[in-house]
Amino acid sequence: MSRRLTLAAAQLGPIQRAEGREVAVGRMVRLMETAHRRGAEVVVYPELALTTFFPRWYEEDLAAADYWFESAMPSDATAPLFAAARKFGIGFHLGFAERTPEGRRFNTAIYVHPSGEVVLKYRKVHLPGHAEYAPDRRVQHLEKRYFEVGDLGFPVVRAPVGGTEVNIGMLICNDRRWPEAWRVLGLQQVELVMLGYNTPSLNMENRGFEAHHLRVFHSHLSVQAGCYQNACFAAAVAKAGTEDGHELFGHSIIVNPQGEIMAQATSWHDELIVADCDLAMCALGRSTIFNFSAHRRPEAYERITAQVGSVVPPVWSPCGSGRDS
Ligand code: CDV
């Protein structure tokens, strides 16, 4: 039986700080309607899709940042998205800031079945940036202040997406740069990775030169390599354009298990891209070069989980130099 999936990535243009959730949700519903018209069965939205990318703003008092967080899903503000999913029969992936009933805060993504049921939840593991105000930075990136490290691992679940069952997993933004994260998904036979991001067009750390064009290159390189090395599809979906004077680079993509870009956004606005994914493609890589059970050598990978930082290697010196090698 053919396993095909029509997959949509709904890039969002900028959301300004002063704009309420109803503005973003209205735009997202319109994108979902377009996705429906174009035959999509699932639509993927960006990281922290409901508001501006707020970790660029410092709040001394954490409670003052609660405005940016969702303590219910759905809520009055997000209910139209769930209603549209039901109406159009489309599943959707949503990134948002989550505040739990216990007051814990996470950078979270969910996959929602058209019925409105949450099928899968993921909480971002690789939080970039810093926890305290950094006066040397051009723009703050306070994810480490506002979020805890995700506590759900990298879950994969097999669930109905459109007319077929698909092994779905998620990454959020900075996670895409970490091959370990992709591999944990690959080890669970993930077929579709849903991934939202907010990435500034410039490196904001103020520590050395990075050419502008490399920002997009590194993003695509990471996603394409992750898909190829784990034989899966991905929708990597950006928030794009200039939010309150701060530019995010967009360039959302859908990638196949060969690492090829199947569709790419070309604007920095709300834009829907769609690809027809033949899930049977996942079997090729998985049964040949990346046949994990035949070729992986975990006994040689001990450092990957035993060590966090890198270590200085031993220094080689020529025989007879009188020094230890
Ligand atoms: N939201 C992010 O995680 N952004 C990071 C930036 C700070 C580099 C990213 O990896 O794209």
For residue range 57-82, list pLDDT tens digits in order.
Answer: 999 999 999 999 999 999 999 999 99
User: What percentage of the chain reaches a pLDDT higher than 90?
Assistant: 93
Which one is catalytic: 124, 191, 227, 271? Answer: 124
pLDDT of 277 higher than 90:
yes
The predicted-structure confidence for 145-173, as pLDDT tens digits, reads as follows 999 999 999 999 999 999 999 999 999 99
The predicted-structure confidence for 82-96, as pLDDT tens digits, reads as follows 999 999 999 999 999
Residues 88 and 37: their CA atoms lie apart, in Å, by: 9
pLDDT of 321 higher than 90:
no
Residues 224 and 259: their CA atoms lie apart, in Å, by: 4
The predicted-structure confidence for 265-276, as pLDDT tens digits, reads as follows 999 999 999 999
User: 277 to each of 10, 46, 158, 191, how far by Cα in Å?
Assistant: 16, 20, 16, 10
Strand 240-243, strand 246-249: pairing: antiparallel
Amino acid letter, residue 83: A
Atom 5 (ligand 1) nearest CA: 174
DSSP H helices, the chain, are 21-37, 79-88, 143-146, 179-186, 213-230, 282-287, 292-295, 302-306
From its phi and psi, is residue 41 left (phi > 0), alpha (psi between -120 and 50) or beta? alpha
Question: What is the per-residue DSSP string for 97-119?
Answer: EEE-TTS-EEEEEEEE-TTS-EE
Q: Is the dihedral of CA 112, 117, 120, 123 positive or negative?
A: positive
Q: Other C-beta atoms within 10 Å of 184: how many? A: 19
Q: Which of 199, 217, 220 to mutate to test the pocket of ligand 1 (most atoms within 8 A of CB)?
A: 199
Distance (angstroms) between ligand 1 centre and the Cα of 118 equals 26
Nearest to 274 by CA among 110, 36, 92: 36
Domains recognised in the chain with CATH numbers: 4-300 (3.60.110.10)
Give the model's pLDDT for residue 324: 52
Residues 261 and 254: their CA atoms lie apart, in Å, by: 6
Average pLDDT, the chain: 96
Residues 124 and 36: their CA atoms lie apart, in Å, by: 29
Which one is catalytic: 173, 227, 232, 277? Answer: 173
Which one is catalytic: 47, 70, 243, 271? Answer: 47
Question: What is the per-residue DSSP string for 296-310?
Answer: --GGG-HHHHH-SS-
The structure's pTM equals 0.96
Give the model's pLDDT for residue 203: 82
Strand 91-99, strand 240-243: pairing: unpaired
Can 59 be counted among the known catalytic residues? no
Q: What is the CA angle 96-102-108, rounded to 5?
A: 20
Give the model's pLDDT for residue 107: 98
pLDDT of 325 higher than 70:
no
Please state the atom number of ligand 1 nearest to the C-alpha of residue 173.
3
Please state the atom number of ligand 1 nearest to the C-alpha of residue 141.
7
Distance (angstroms) between ligand 1 centre and the Cα of 164 equals 32
Return phi, psi of residue 51, to 5°: -140, 175
Residues 111 and 176: their CA atoms lie apart, in Å, by: 18
The predicted-structure confidence for 180-226, as pLDDT tens digits, reads as follows 999 999 999 999 999 999 999 988 777 788 888 999 999 999 999 99
Quote the radius of gyration of the chain (alpha carbons, Å).
21
The predicted-structure confidence for 129-144, as pLDDT tens digits, reads as follows 999 999 998 899 999 9
Give the model's pLDDT for residue 322: 55
Please state the atom number of ligand 1 nearest to the C-alpha of residue 219.
11
Give the model's pLDDT for residue 210: 84
Is 81 within 8 Å of 111 (Cβ atoms)? no
Distance (angstroms) between ligand 1 centre and the Cα of 200 equals 7
pLDDT of 323 higher than 60:
no
